[in-house]
Structure 1
Amino acid sequence: MVLLSDPRVRNIPVLECGEPLVEIGVDAGITLDPRERDEAGEYGRVRAGVLERLRAASERLPAGVGFLVIEGHRSPEEQARRFARYADRLRRSGITDPVERRRRASAFVSPVEVAPHCAGAALDLTHIDADGVELDMGRPVNGHRTGDERACPLDAPGLSAAARKNRDLLAERLGAEGFVNYPSEWWHWSYGDRYWALMRGVSAAVYGPV
């Protein structure tokens, strides 16, 4: 698995296209979860092209299934805070080598200089039913915060048939619109950032930090 700390990600150039950040808002098949929003409400924004692709994916979901967006754009300051917090957790668990600690931290929190969320290119999301109840995905979004790291990868073993089916649906619909998954986090999908470019074999990212 290629991690976001990999030098190949950092070496991808950015040819910024200038698309604005737009509010996700209320849309058919798309719901914004308010629990993760900061005081400015910035977590509910993504690049215009990202939202267009999310809308296209939602239109192709089965009847009664929608997307619940947990988080979109994240400020560099918030990203740096989260990375430092997770790295410190690893330090306290006994990971003393700073290089190894950075590598392990990047499995769940991107280094700020390449972070897809800071580019407005990433979405943390899951599926919900018609009543707004989250579908069984095996483990919740951000499961690494509660020590569920082993169940966080998209292809984690030991999932129930229902959870596997729901993760496959998420991957099928978002992948069809050009999104790429960060394999250690089943809920994290991005388009247009450096990681996306590397995974898709594209010469440059179109979204840089905003």
Structure 2
Amino acid sequence: MRPPVPRLPVWAVLLAVLSSCFGALAMPHAAAQPVALPDGFVRLRERDPTIRQDMRYAGPFNFTGRRVPGYLAGECILLRPAADALVRAQARLVAEGYHLKVYDCYRPERAVRSFIDWAQSPEPDRMARIFSPAIDKSQQFALGYIAKRSRHSLGIAVDVGLVRATDPDLPTPTDAGPCDGPFETRARESSLDLGTAYDCAAPLSATAARVGAQARANRDRLVRALAAEGFRNYRLEWWHFDYTGATPPLRGWDFPVR
């Protein structure tokens, strides 16, 4: 016959329960681990945190007016060789008193498909007054401002601007005047004039377009630093560069940005 189990006083039971509860609250939670990326991809922030980031498609201030599918976080992700080349370009610019500022990097294929749906939708273009003052959204594929197959989805393309190293970080704009209008009325992205705002569907966005002397100098500085590290500029967009120093993947990727 088993001996009887001794009963604890009520106060002892309550003390044990409270200790257990408060002990659990006091225990530190394990730090959240970053989500693993496919082989070969890296987060730019982990390679060089001094490169500014304002990942526009992770929020509503972009030409679609909403967060773009596939962007769960505002993180620049690239193939490692492209990211390392961008870090080297940053070092060149830092020596001259400037920093890079990225607006888009790897782009999931679902985002590209959403751009196609947006362009073909009868829905009014709510952001046209900012990002496309004179070009209808239905014309943007034909004119080369949006691609149905994007090198961003390969992890080798980057949309990037230029800021002074001494400039403070600027929040993502929430409103602005026409992207090809006077510098003072455009989206506040940098203290430097680059001729248009980022992602501007307008003739002035072409890298060789006739812009003011300061904007020309800033564009040339950006192109020069990136070209020295293997990036090729897309002629219709002063901000778009493809990395040419590595063999790109054979297909685009569709993992989410997070």
TM-score normalised by structure 1 residue count: 0.70
Greater relative contact order, per chain length (Cα 8 Å cut-off, separation 6+): 1
Counterparts of 1:1-210 in structure 2, within 5 Å, are 20-25=40-45, 27=48, 29-37=50-58, 39-41=71-73, 43-61=75-93, 62-86=95-119, 93=136, 104-105=142-143, 107-112=144-149, 115-129=150-164, 130-132=166-168, 134=190, 135-144=192-201, 149-157=202-210, 159-192=211-244, 205-207=247-249, 208-210=251-253
Tell me how far apart the structure 1 counterparts of residues 105 and 56 of structure 2 sit (CA, whole Å): 13
User: Which segments of structure 1 move beyond 3 Å, counting only runs of 4 or more?
Assistant: 86-90, 92-95
Q: RMSD value over aligned CA atoms?
A: 2.9
After superposition, the C-alpha distances for 1:120-151 in whole angstroms (9 at most, x for unaligned) are 1110010011214612101011011xxxx111
Displacement of 1:109 in angstroms is 1.1
Q: Kindly tell me the number of residue pairs found equivalent between the two proteins.
A: 169
- Contact kept? 1:29, 1:65, Cα under 8 Å: no
Tell me how far apart the structure 2 counterparts of residues 170 and 181 of structure 1 sit (CA, whole Å): 10
- Contact kept? 1:178, 1:191, Cα under 8 Å: yes
After superposition, the C-alpha distances for 1:174-206 in whole angstroms (9 at most, x for unaligned) are 1111111111111000114xxx99xxxxxxx52
Please give the secondary structure, in 1, of the residue aligned with 2:163: strand
- Contact kept? 1:24, 1:32, Cα under 8 Å: no
Displacement of 1:24 in angstroms is 1.2
Tell me how far apart the structure 2 counterparts of residues 41 and 168 of structure 1 sit (CA, whole Å): 31
Tell me how far apart the structure 2 counterparts of residues 94 and 131 of structure 1 sit (CA, whole Å): 34
After superposition, the C-alpha distances for 1:27-84 in whole angstroms (9 at most, x for unaligned) are 2641111443265226521111110000111111143210000110111111111133
- Contact kept? 1:42, 1:74, Cα under 8 Å: no
Tell me how far apart the structure 2 counterparts of residues 117 and 74 of structure 1 sit (CA, whole Å): 5
Structure 1 counterpart of 2:200, one-letter code:
G
Higher helix share: 1
CA change 1:141–1:102 in 2 (3 A) is closer
CA change 1:181–1:83 in 2 (3 A) is farther
Tell me how far apart the structure 2 counterparts of residues 94 and 137 of structure 1 sit (CA, whole Å): 23
Please give the secondary structure, in 2, of the residue aligned with 1:80: helix
Tell me how far apart the structure 2 counterparts of residues 41 and 103 of structure 1 sit (CA, whole Å): 26
Please give the secondary structure, in 2, of the residue aligned with 1:104: coil
Tell me how far apart the structure 2 counterparts of residues 103 and 36 of structure 1 sit (CA, whole Å): 18
Tell me how far apart the structure 2 counterparts of residues 87 and 178 of structure 1 sit (CA, whole Å): 35
In structure 1, stretches of 5+ residues that fail to align are: 1-17, 96-100, 198-204
Identity rate, percent: 24
In structure 2, stretches of 5+ residues that fail to align are: 1-37, 59-66, 126-131, 169-188, 254-258
Displacement of 1:117 in angstroms is 0.7
CA change 1:87–1:139 in 2 (3 A) is farther
TM-score normalised by structure 2 residue count: 0.58
* Structure whose alpha-carbon radius of gyration is higher: 2
